[in-house]
Amino acid sequence: MLFLKLLRESFLFAGDALRQNKTRTLLSLLGVTIGIFTIIAVQSAVDTLRNNLQNSVNKLGNNSIYVQKWPWVGGSDFPWWKYLQRPESDLRDFNELSRRITTAEALSYEINIDNRTIKYKSNTVEGAQVDAASQDHDKTWNFDLESGRYFTEMESKTGAPITDIGYDIAQALFPDGDAVGKQIKVMGRYVTIVGVFSKQGKDMLGISTDKEVLLPLNFARNLIDIQSSKYGPSIIVRGKKGIPTDDVESEIKGLMRSIRRLRPGADDNFSLNRTTMITQQLDDLFKVVNIAGAIIGGFSILVGGFGIANIMFVSVKERTNIIGIQKSLGAKNYFILLQFLIESVLLCFVGGIIGLFFVYLATFAVKAALDVQVILDAANVTRGLSYSIIIGVIAGIIPAYSASRLDPVEAIRTN
């Protein structure tokens, strides 16, 4: 009951302070509002970026290893001239790896051909990404089909004129009907659509099947040199379930050195890339962003805390007579202390709520403008509001303590 009475009176006093000194109070709350907004907004932005980027990375396969010419990551001393001299992953590497490897569930050889304009009657799609892959592409990549099917083993071996197309391409070319079974012209040849990829949406890393046209590798080899460096050939290896990715990578490294006949002690002339490399880079980047956001938000909250402390000192001075009367009627020191302390916390909490409100507005604005699903985690909201309460306690403890130590007689005499 005592706590509820204190809470009620603190609400009344805080409301009175807001009414009587609107400009002063709002300016003081502004620092807390900006600080909480910055902290929650930065953390939400980081979580949103992390989630979207991680979803992109997951499409590559968490336990897949990419045998390529270039590494995915590098520092300021990146020796590009060294990697430039390396040979591309070719069909001989792919065939030898397929024959020798024991830890792999699937291997695929893949190339990125070009961006092309795809037409069907009067409908056109520009910027379609034409790719070609061997049979196990569906095992080394993570994707679903909206309709139809993937290539059969016989179709892949014979290089049948077929294709799987992206969702956006199917919607643009065939708005009134099913795309499966229709023929489109790709690279000067007619191919039959056998499947349509499911909608994946916008991707921050550009990894999406929505505008992809996928061809069997043996069909593409009749049209282009599929081992040419301009198509960025790569070998993708997905390890068997239950086998650590490190073990799969170790076997690939040994086999590739053997296949390319590298002497003991000679540097590798290939790169083994994994999605964990990207994830680690992202984690390092997000740590820096989080720290920067915490510092900026911390300074804003600190300034707001000084403003709240100033309000509380003024409030103590303005209500000295009231404090004297309360103490003369038997109010204990802790009652006075808690009364002002709760008032300080409530003021900071109001600032935190306002900051959170602006974060919600920002999430709707970003979602409407960029069509990105913004993550506003409950933990971040709780953390931000907790910071506002802590600042309220720190800002109010000294004014509240000084009020609780006032002499009742002297306080009553104060004008």
Q: Which helix H or strand E contains 324, and what residues bound it?
A: helix 320-328
Nearest C-alpha neighbor of 219 from the set 140, 134, 139: 134
DSSP code string of 329-355:
TT--HHHHHHHHHHHHHHHHHHHHHHH
What pLDDT was estimated at residue 157?
A: 92
Phi, psi of 192 (to 5 degrees): -95, 135
Chain segment 119-147, per-residue pLDDT in tens: 888 888 888 899 999 999 988 888 889 99
What pLDDT was estimated at residue 143?
A: 83
Environment class of residue 246 by beta-carbon count within 10 Å: exposed (0-12), middle (13-18) or buried (19+)?
A: exposed
Q: How does DSSP classify residue 240?
A: P
Query: How far apart (Å, rounded) are the C-alpha atoms in residues 329 and 9?
Result: 16
What pLDDT was estimated at residue 203?
A: 61
Q: pTM higher than 0.95 for the full model?
A: no
Collect the ranges in the chain with pLDDT lower than 70.
1-3, 6-7, 9-11, 13-21, 24, 56-62, 74-76, 202-206, 277-278, 370-372, 415
What pLDDT was estimated at residue 188?
A: 85
DSSP tally for the chain: helices H, then strands E: 14, 10
* Torsion 127-133-137-141 (CA) sign: negative
Q: How does DSSP classify residue 229?
A: G
Which residue carries 């050939």 as its tokens?
Answer: 233
> What torsion, rounded to 10 degrees, do the Cα atoms 73, 75, 81, 86 define?
-30
What pLDDT was estimated at residue 341?
A: 83
Q: For residue 282, what are its two tokens?
A: 């992202």
Q: At 285, is the secondary structure helix, strand, or coil? A: helix
Are 74 and 92 in contact by the 8 Å Cβ rule? The answer is: no
Q: How does DSSP classify residue 273?
A: E
Environment class of residue 94 by beta-carbon count within 10 Å: exposed (0-12), middle (13-18) or buried (19+)?
A: buried
* 358 conformational bin, left if phi > 0, alpha if psi -120 to 50, beta if neither: alpha
Q: How does DSSP classify residue 405?
A: T
Q: How does DSSP classify residue 12?
A: H
Phi, psi of 266 (to 5 degrees): -75, 150
Are 213 and 165 in contact by the 8 Å Cβ rule? The answer is: yes
What pLDDT was estimated at residue 158?
A: 93
Q: For residue 340, what are its two tokens?
A: 């002002």
Half-sphere exposure of 213 (CA within 13 A, CB side): 30
234-239 and 104-120 beta bridge pairing: antiparallel
Are 216 and 162 in contact by the 8 Å Cβ rule? The answer is: yes
Environment class of residue 184 by beta-carbon count within 10 Å: exposed (0-12), middle (13-18) or buried (19+)?
A: buried
Q: For residue 130, what are its two tokens?
A: 């034409």
Using N-to-C axis directions, what is the helix angle for 275-318 and 333-370, rounded to 10°?
A: 140
Query: How far apart (Å, rounded) are the C-alpha atoms in residues 67 and 236?
Result: 6
Query: How far apart (Å, rounded) are the C-alpha atoms in residues 413 and 145?
Result: 83
Query: How far apart (Å, rounded) are the C-alpha atoms in residues 217 and 136?
Result: 11
> What torsion, rounded to 10 degrees, do the Cα atoms 19, 23, 28, 29 define?
60
What pLDDT was estimated at residue 246?
A: 87
Q: How does DSSP classify residue 139?
A: H
